[in-house]
Amino acid sequence: MCKISLSRRNKEILIAVCSFTILIILYKLSGKSRSVSNAKEFSQTDSIHTKEETLTKTAYRIQELEEKISILEKQIPKTYPDVRYLNYLARKRILVTGGAGFVGSHLVDKLMKEGHEVIVADNFFTGRKLNVEHWIGHENFEMIHHDIVNPLYIEVDEIYHLASPASPPHYMENPVKTIKTNTIGTINILGLARRVNAKVLIASTSEVYGDPDIHPQPETYWGHVNPIGPRACYDEGKRISETLTYAYAKQEKMQVRVARIFNTYGPRMHMNDGRVVSNFILQALKGEIITIYGSGGQTRSFQYVTDLVEGLVSLMNSNYTLPVNLGNPVEHTINEFAAIIKELVGGNSKIVHSSEVEDDPQRRKPDITRAKKYLNWEPKVNLNVGLQKTVSYFREELRKFSHSQRNKFVPV
């Protein structure tokens, strides 16, 4: 028995054909009505009444066709990306907090393709269902709308704790909430891991180093952080998150991993992320001024999201328990990066300097000696290759803004 597959395009064509056929029938009926009217067999009032009845029946028939198409679509099995089959001994039940976010959704992709059962817990503050929609309905996938500031009671084998706003505009929007997510939320996740004896990986950040006076930054560096500055809610929140993790590990004999994540970019970044990559790409695509805050001599190192995901999984599967830097040791100034983006995107955008942002780190570059030694990991994706994919993603996102999503059912 063959399977019928109706895409949105085919569905629209089918409805258009049906509508056109009905219009032809209406036209013929209209001609017959005029002929009958000329023969004075029916009055003008009866003709109008007949047409109204015909239009009503036509509208009802179109509605019936739409309902039948909808039923047919539901009967078509949804297709998913290929996943590896694992038996029950090898398959893990893995929780990813913040799994609908930028990094989290890419991590979910990798874990699902490896054949594990994945549970996403996200409150969708910065995450989007669209990022994981291709897994919805899969037997190995589950999504929970949940804020980890509240306890979560489920059975899992491993936990990747990524839940937290990570860009300055987002974590500064509600600094108290950011602190709660990284303290109370981390306590809840560590408590869950302790109860079910699960291994847990905490996603920390290079921001724990603050505005560093050691360059590049090794994991042994304790940092240079302003505890009352505008970025403190995130910087200090992640520092206490690390402290909590190792306190639980020592007291409760838990298996913990800590990843200090440096600047990451790639598809599914939030368009209002407010960081260098998304800002420069969007400004260039729109033909707007490319804004550099400060002199532009500040340095950053950028890793592609798939490289980071490989590092996270490698760290989880390792036996190493101390913090590990995951980032790209290739350093660029902000001025250099703006020029790279402008050349890649094209257009006539001008680069303009604005006033410096408070507590903006002047130098940022990871020492990844630990990652190389204990995880056999280092970034592989070339900057230009990664940026081309990211530009394509943002170009498509901007294109969607110029078209409204069609909806055949209009609520009354």
Q: Is residue 109 located within the same domain as residue 66?
A: no
User: Which amino acid makes up residue 147?
Assistant: D
Q: Are 100 and 73 within 8 A, CB to CB? A: no
Q: Per residue in 145-202, pLDDT tens?
A: 999 999 999 999 999 999 998 888 888 889 999 999 999 999 999 999 999 999 999 9
Total domain count, the chain: 2
Q: Catalytic: which of 160, 171, 234, 304? A: 234
Q: Is residue 28 located within the same domain as residue 148?
A: no
Mean pLDDT on 355-370: 85
**Predicted local distance difference test score (pLDDT) of residue 2:** 42
Q: Has residue 40 got a pLDDT over 70?
A: no
Q: How confident is residue 33, by pLDDT bands cut at 50, 70 and 90? A: low
Q: Is residue 281 located within the same domain as residue 218?
A: yes
Q: Per residue in 128-159, pLDDT tens?
A: 999 999 999 999 999 999 999 999 999 999 99
Q: Has residue 121 got a pLDDT over 60?
A: yes
**Separation in Å, CA 58 to CA 23, 28, 86, 151, 210:** 9, 14, 53, 54, 68
Q: Is residue 190 located within the same domain as residue 308?
A: yes
Average pLDDT, the chain: 87
Q: Is residue 117 located within the same domain as residue 69?
A: no
Q: Is residue 251 located within the same domain as residue 118?
A: yes
Q: Per residue in 273-296, pLDDT tens?
A: 778 888 899 999 988 889 888 888
Q: Per residue in 290-323, pLDDT tens?
A: 988 888 888 888 999 999 999 999 999 999 999 9
**Predicted local distance difference test score (pLDDT) of residue 4:** 43
Query: Where in the sequence is the domain holding 281, given as residue range(s)?
Result: 93-400
Q: Are 237 and 203 within 8 A, CB to CB? A: no
Q: How confident is residue 30, by pLDDT bands cut at 50, 70 and 90? A: low
Q: Is residue 295 located within the same domain as residue 388?
A: yes
Q: Is residue 71 located within the same domain as residue 98?
A: no
**Among 23-27, 59-63, 82-86, which range has the highest average pLDDT?**
82-86
Q: Is residue 221 located within the same domain as residue 312?
A: yes
Q: Per residue in 378-390, pLDDT tens?
A: 999 999 999 999 9
Q: Per residue in 225-248, pLDDT tens?
A: 999 989 999 999 999 999 999 999
Q: Is residue 70 located within the same domain as residue 195?
A: no
Asked whether residue 6 is assigned to any structural domain, the reply reads no
Q: Is 293 a catalytic residue?
A: no
Q: Is residue 142 located within the same domain as residue 207?
A: yes
Asked whether residue 405 is assigned to any structural domain, the reply reads no
Percent of the chain with pLDDT over 90: 57
